[in-house]
């Protein structure tokens, strides 16, 4: 209806999950809070949801937290009841495969035509039932270019702290949807506008409030814009690089504090990244397959300054070199790292392997000679 190609189709039915499993032998039932049927066809999975009833028909003391968040949502009902319990009116539209018609119980077609995102029911109640709806409001508004209706928008800033009650693993999936949908930069601005970003990345938000010549904010924005461009060009994007960008500033600041107290650069960055990640995991979980590459990307930033001897070639052979180099280029573009340093490594990669190395600044040579006279190895080189 918007002239775009849908990324997927949601299948809904009046059959219970157990009935769906009786029809399809290749079916698995998943979920506890929200029971679903997954019907497997080779590598394809058709996710089938059963029509749910309205919340007033399933409220119970043991089904809600003190804040009003629903613990289970498995009371089944009719298609009309299912439509009226969905979050936004534009998400309450059904496409009938019987006669190829659009079924609209909630005024979703009109809101779609006007570009309005509106919650069904009382917004405060709906956000308390599931605080992730606040993130979904931002994601849909950014992705579709819709405006959030005033009544849907006004409670968000007040209720943003409810995200603390959402499991970190679920928030990780929501963050990926927010920042890997091609509108990351817009979503970031809206998240900050409503106070939601501070709930997801508290250390980063704190560092953004302490701007140094716009470096932290510029770096994050350029990283998110770069992510959007890569997705538009159908290039791969890894969550490890995305989170490395989002958390770099608090890691960098903590590293500087540790270095000032006497820690060697490499040990300082290792300790700082561990501390920041530990705090971040309390809000948004991050699988180890992403957190480990992140820490390597950060640590390699301190090895780029060593451009003498065989160090550049050893660094070039590092399995995480390309991601770390891209991160260096991003830092330079944001003004947070020397552009000369990024240019040197760009030239080094493209140089003839048998040719002499690109010359480093004379200042680096003087530091190197002083280092040899004092016979004190570089702390980074010890790594």
Any idea which residues carry the catalytic annotation?
Answer: 8, 10, 87
**Region for residue 151 given its phi and psi (left: phi exceeds 0; alpha: psi -120 to 50; beta: otherwise):** alpha
In order of 22, 29, 184, 356, 378, the CA distances from 38 in angstroms are 12, 6, 30, 59, 56
**Do residues 96 and 103 touch, judged by C-beta distance below 8 A?**
yes
Assigned token pair, 257: 């504090």
CA 43 to chain centroid, in Å, comes to: 26
What residues contact residue 77 under an 8 Å CB cut-off, 6+ apart? Answer: 51, 52, 53, 54, 57, 85
The string of DSSP letters for 210-235 reads S-STTHHHHHHHHHHHHHHHHHHTT-
**Do residues 64 and 71 touch, judged by C-beta distance below 8 A?**
yes
Angle (CA) 45-135-186 rounded to 5° is 105
Residues in the chain: 383
Strand 11-13 to 93-96 pairing: unpaired
Angle (CA) 7-8-12 rounded to 5° is 155
The string of DSSP letters for 51-106 reads PBPPGGGT--GGGB-TT--BS----B--HHHHHHTSSBGGGSEEEETTTTEEEESS
SS3 334: coil
Distance CA(152)–CA(149), nearest Å, equals 5
List, in sequence order, every residue forming a beta bridge with 64; answer none if it has no partner: 70
DSSP 340: H
């Amino acid at each position: 209806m918007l002239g775009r190609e849908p990324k997927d189709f949601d299948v809904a039915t009046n059959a219970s999950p157990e009935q769906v499993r009786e029809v399809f032998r290749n079916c698995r039932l998943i979920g506890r809070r929200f029971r679903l049927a997954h019907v497997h066809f080779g590598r394809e999975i058709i996710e089938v949801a059963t029509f749910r009833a309205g919340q007033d028909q399933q409220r119970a003391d043991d089904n809600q937290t003190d804040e009003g968040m629903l613990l289970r949502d498995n009371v089944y009902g009719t298609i009309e009841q299912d439509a009226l319990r969905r979050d936004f009116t534009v998400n309450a539209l059904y496409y009938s495969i019987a006669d190829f018609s659009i079924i609209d119980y909630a005024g979703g077609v009109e809101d779609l035509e006007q570009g309005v995102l509106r919650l069904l029911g009382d917004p405060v109640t709906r956000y308390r039932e599931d605080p992730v709806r606040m993130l979904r409001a931002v994601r849909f508004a950014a992705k579709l270019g819709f405006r959030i209706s005033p009544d849907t928008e006004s409670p968000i800033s007040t209720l943003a702290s409810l995200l603390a009650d959402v499991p970190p693993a679920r928030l990780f999936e929501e963050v990926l949807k927010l920042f890997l949908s091609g509108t990351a930069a817009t979503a970031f601005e809206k998240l900050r506008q409503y106070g939601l970003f501070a709930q997801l990345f508290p250390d980063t938000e704190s560092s953004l409030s302490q701007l140094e010549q716009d470096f932290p904010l510029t770096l994050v924005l350029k990283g998110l814009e770069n992510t959007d461009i890569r997705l538009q060009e159908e290039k791969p994007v890894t969550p490890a690089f995305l989170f490395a960008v989002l958390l770099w500033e608090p890691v960098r600041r903590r590293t500087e504090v540790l270095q000032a107290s006497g820690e060697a650069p490499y040990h300082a960055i290792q300790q700082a990244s561990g501390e920041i990640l530990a705090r971040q995991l309390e809000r948004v979980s991050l699988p180890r397959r992403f957190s480990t590459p992140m820490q390597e990307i950060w640590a390699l930033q301190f090895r780029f300054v060593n451009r003498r001897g065989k160090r550049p070639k050893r660094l070039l052979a590092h399995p995480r070199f390309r991601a770390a180099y891209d991160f260096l280029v991003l830092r330079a573009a944001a003004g947070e790292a020397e552009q000369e340093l990024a240019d040197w490594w760009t030239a080094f990669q493209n140089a003839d392997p048998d040719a002499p190395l690109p010359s480093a600044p004379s200042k680096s040579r003087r530091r190197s000679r002083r280092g040899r006279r004092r016979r004190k190895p570089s702390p980074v080189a010890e790594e």
